[in-house]
Structure 1
Amino acid sequence: MPLHTSFTAGSNTQVYVWKITESHDELWERTRNLKDVCITRLEGMKSEQHRRGFLSVRMLLQEAGYTDMDMFYAEDGKPHLKDGKNISITHSHNFSAIIISNENVGIDMEMQRDKITKIARKYCETEFSYLEPKNEATYIRSLTVIWGVKEAIFKMVSLPGISFKDHIDVAAFSMDNNSGEATLNFNDSCTNYNFHFKEIEGFTLVYSFEKDTTL
């Protein structure tokens, strides 16, 4: 199918979401201007799901007015756009998404699954003070948001040694407000972030910004 949704997320920031219903061949036929290194990378992917996710991200770039030629990866592993704008990328199962902004941004998308409760203690610590395990449905949804926030912030910073559990704290938030705050304490520095989330067909989309401390 074409673009699932796109929306503005603050000034000079746009989010694009693709629902992957096409086959690998259908996406390949519609993708323009792939770099040789990306073709090699695509050919080396054993999973068709990963190949479809890779190509759907290139479709999202096209929706935003770019091609694969306009994106490059820096030494820290983060993607960048040649026009100087920031970009972050995610894909999960049959969804992919990108966020493009003048600010440093991060994005993540995760399927809401029961098994996240089994690994919660691997990436949560302070968050257990407000989580409610007895309400299983809300617990799963909240844990998915928390994982997405930490993943999005990690993509923004892209530094080795960061622990989701020990270094990134997500403050108490309401599932009804679709936003919240988080803090990264790492290498003797503290950085605050705002995050927003959206639930789409059993998936959770999270995107984050560094908090403006000048206000």
Structure 2
Amino acid sequence: MPLYKTLDPNSQTHVKIWKITETYEDLLQPLSLKPESLERVSGMKSELHQRGFLSVRHLLRAFGYTDLDLYYDEMGKPHLKDGMHISITHSFTFAAVAISDVEVGIDIEKQRDKIAVIAHKFIDYEFDYLNKYADDYIRNLTVIWCVKESLYKLFATPGMLFREHFFVIPFTLEDEETISWIDYKGQKCRFNASFLEFEGFTCAFTLPS
């Protein structure tokens, strides 16, 4: 059972990360999935996505939940039937779930050079403090993307744009935390963002300040 890492940022918020090493069959065998989940995973064309989907269900088990406890609203945002807040992510060979008594968002991304090509699509203000010639430029971009993606998952509101509405204040990779803001339709909200790196991946999660 490759539970890779457990984080407890506060007494009511818990993050679990899974390293996906099992085959699709090995992941599926011990799980009890509701019919719509089984139909969804069976219809996925990529086995990598299938394994990510199933590893999330294993993480639910690690939290004491089952697939039956999870449902999605019309925006595709996940919820738990007991009222706790949940956020879900998977990328290539890692998956993560964050559960809290307050709104929470989480994202994992593989660190890849091609993020620099699309940086202008999700960054504006942050270019003021980034150095695109620095050795850690790709890693910093990936942190910013993960923070903004986790904020988007937390709000799940149509019309929100990473570049125009989400802001990440200056940070260093050694900090492993920063502050982020949402400024949308007159609403300004402040969030604590934490991040970590492992095996060429970045994970970030956000919570209300």
TM-score, with normalisation over the residues of structure 2?
0.98
Shift of residue 183, structure 1, vs aligned partner? 0.9
**2 CA distance for matches of 1:144 and 1:7?**
20
Partner of 1:23: 23
Q: Alignment identity in percent?
A: 46
**2 CA distance for matches of 1:70 and 1:161?**
29
Superimposed CA distance per residue, residues 116-137 of structure 1 (whole angstroms, 9 cap, x where no aligned partner): 11111110000001001111x3
1:14 equivalent to 2:14? Answer: yes
Shift of residue 174, structure 1, vs aligned partner? 1.4
- Greater shift after overlay, 68-77 or 13-22? 68-77
Superimposed CA distance per residue, residues 103-156 of structure 1 (whole angstroms, 9 cap, x where no aligned partner): 100000001111111111110000001001111x31111000000000000000
SS in 2 for 1:30: coil
Partner of 1:5: 5
Superimposed CA distance per residue, residues 167-195 of structure 1 (whole angstroms, 9 cap, x where no aligned partner): 11111111111000111111221111110
Superimposed CA distance per residue, residues 182-213 of structure 1 (whole angstroms, 9 cap, x where no aligned partner): 111112211111100010111001000112xx
Q: Which amino acid aligns with 1:208?
A: T
**Structure 1 runs (4+) greater than 2 angstroms displaced:** none
SS in 1 for 2:136: helix
SS in 1 for 2:203: strand
Partner of 2:194: 196
Superimposed CA distance per residue, residues 75-113 of structure 1 (whole angstroms, 9 cap, x where no aligned partner): 232111111100000000000000010010000000111
Partner of 1:99: 98
1:149 equivalent to 2:138? Answer: no
1:120-139 paired onto structure 2 within 5 Å: 120-135=119-134, 137-139=135-137
Structure 2: gaps of 5 or more residues: none
**1 CA distance for matches of 2:30 and 2:129?**
46
Shift of residue 2, structure 1, vs aligned partner? 2.0
**1 CA distance for matches of 2:92 and 2:111?**
11
Q: Which amino acid aligns with 2:168?
A: V
Partner of 2:35: 36
> For this pair of structures, how many residues does the alignment match?
209
SS in 2 for 1:54: helix
Partner of 2:185: 187
Partner of 2:160: 162
1:70 equivalent to 2:77? Answer: no
Q: Which amino acid aligns with 1:190?
A: K
TM-score, with normalisation over the residues of structure 1?
0.95
Q: Which amino acid aligns with 2:138?
A: I
Structure 1: gaps of 5 or more residues: none
- CA RMSD after TM alignment: 0.9
